[in-house]
């Protein structure tokens, strides 16, 4: 069983009734506390040795990244972050000081994106375990899910991919980069910026049909978007972050792997009505000073392919899957 198969089996155990409008399988679940309002809830767990290592991350950065991953799930639903809870499993070798530094990183990231930490739980665990749940709010008409992509839509991201993975290469000593690129790669890995403002802005456009974040690598996330929308995708070009391109060149590997398998980029992946894309991209650039990068188009059959000089090749899922063998 891979991760998506397990999620499907789990979803079958829960019943999709009541005021929960969108349940297991999207970036976040949605419910309706009042008629004119949607609340969005999402949870993400990070485990020491699986998602991060103290060998190359400070407790403060570990905290920031854990919170950013959760906030990014709200951004992907076009929601405004409101509050969160933090369950921490703490191993004996983490001193109270290191723990509080980690918590300070979480609180700093939360504050930067308007979210308040409202509660939590502290327990003993064999390795540091961070489970965060976040709640956001969104106007019903602005809510975006993974399942709205339509054939013909333009597929785009809010930025270039792969910088976080290049940062990990740097921290692990696998590669050296010139100072500007190194700084960008390290920042992308240590203190990633969830695209909250971009998500809310894109959510306000009726031309944006589907949205999710790229946290598990483009190849995996694109397959999830396509499956949720029962469509396919033809990708023509993938925007690679400069730092990722430089790291790939230094290591003699395909830079595309940094975007397809890299993960933890937190850029948003959107499907946009084709005839509206040029104008939306222009407005996006004017608003955020960055490009809404065109990757390709949504296709009606359910194949996800890379188009290269007219030839189509299936995109293998090389991104993050906790339960693949």
For its own copies, the binding residues (CB under 8 A) are 1, 3, 6-7, 9-10, 13-15, 17-20, 23-24, 26, 28-29, 31, 33-34, 37, 39, 41-47, 49-51, 82-83, 85-90, 96, 99-100, 103-104, 107, 110-111, 116-127, 129, 131, 133, 135, 137, 322-323
Q: How near is the Cβ of 25 to its own copies at its closest, in Å?
A: 8
Q: How near is the Cβ of 295 to its own copies at its closest, in Å?
A: 26
What residues are paired with 164 via a beta bridge?
A: none
Nearer to its own copies, 37 or 172 (CB): 37
Give dist(CA 234, CA 110) in Å, integer.
Answer: 36
> Among 14, 26, 40, which Cα is nearest to 196's?
40
Q: How near is the Cβ of 268 to its own copies at its closest, in Å?
A: 19
Token representation of residue 29: 């679940």
Nearer to its own copies, 69 or 182 (CB): 69
Q: How near is the Cβ of 155 to its own copies at its closest, in Å?
A: 25
Strand 293-299 and strand 208-213: the pairing is: unpaired
Q: How near is the Cβ of 10 to its own copies at its closest, in Å?
A: 5
Rounded to 5 degrees, φ, ψ at 240 are -105, 130
Nearer to its own copies, 164 or 297 (CB): 164
Nearer to its own copies, 138 or 245 (CB): 138
Q: Are 40 and 79 in contact (CB under 8 A)?
A: yes
Q: Are 254 and 248 in contact (CB under 8 A)?
A: yes
Nearer to its own copies, 28 or 170 (CB): 28
Instruction: Please tell me the chain's helix, strand, coil percentages from 3-state DSSP, rounded to the nearest 5.
Output: 35, 30, 35
Q: Are 190 and 183 in contact (CB under 8 A)?
A: no
Nearer to its own copies, 26 or 153 (CB): 26
- Residue pointed to by tokens 């809310």: 200
Helix and strand numbers, DSSP H then E, in the chain: 10, 13
Q: How near is the Cβ of 318 to its own copies at its closest, in Å?
A: 17
Give dist(CA 178, CA 180) in Å, integer.
Answer: 6
Q: How near is the Cβ of 40 to its own copies at its closest, in Å?
A: 10
Nearer to its own copies, 12 or 316 (CB): 12
């Amino acid at each position: 069983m891979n991760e998506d198969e397990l999620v499907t089996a789990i979803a079958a155990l829960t019943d999709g009734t009541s005021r929960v409008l969108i349940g297991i399988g999207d970036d976040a679940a949605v419910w309706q506390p009042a008629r004119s309002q949607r609340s969005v809830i999402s949870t993400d767990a990070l485990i020491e040795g699986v998602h991060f290592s103290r060998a190359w991350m400070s407790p403060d950065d570990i905290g920031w990244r854990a919170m950013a991953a959760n906030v990014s799930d709200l951004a992907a639903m076009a929601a405004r972050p409101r509050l969160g809870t933090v369950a921490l499993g703490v191993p004996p070798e983490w001193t109270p000081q290191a723990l509080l530094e980690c918590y300070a990183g979480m609180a700093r990231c939360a504050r930067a994106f308007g979210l308040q930490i409202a509660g939590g739980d502290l327990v003993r665990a064999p390795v540091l375990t961070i489970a965060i749940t976040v709640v956001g709010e969104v106007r019903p008409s602005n809510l975006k899910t993974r399942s709205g992509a339509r054939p013909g839509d333009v597929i785009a991201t809010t930025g270039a991919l792969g910088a976080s993975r290049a940062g990990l290469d740097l921290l692990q000593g696998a590669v050296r980069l010139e100072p500007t690129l190194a700084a960008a790669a390290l920042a992308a890995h240590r203190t990633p910026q969830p695209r909250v403002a971009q998500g809310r802005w894109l959510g306000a456009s009726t031309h944006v049909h589907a949205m999710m974040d790229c946290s598990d690598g483009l190849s995996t996330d694109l397959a999830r978007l396509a499956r949720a929308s029962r469509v396919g995708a033809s990708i023509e070009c993938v925007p690679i972050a400069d730092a990722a391109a430089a790291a790939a060149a230094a290591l003699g590997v395909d830079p595309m792997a940094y975007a397809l398998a890299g993960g933890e980029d937190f850029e948003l992946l959107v499907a946009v009505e084709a005839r509206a894309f040029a104008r939306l991209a222009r407005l996006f650039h004017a608003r955020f000073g960055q490009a809404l990068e065109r990757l390709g188009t949504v296709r009606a059959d359910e194949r996800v392919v890379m188009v290269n000089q007219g030839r189509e090749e299936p995109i293998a899922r090389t991104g993050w899957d906790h339960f693949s063998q």
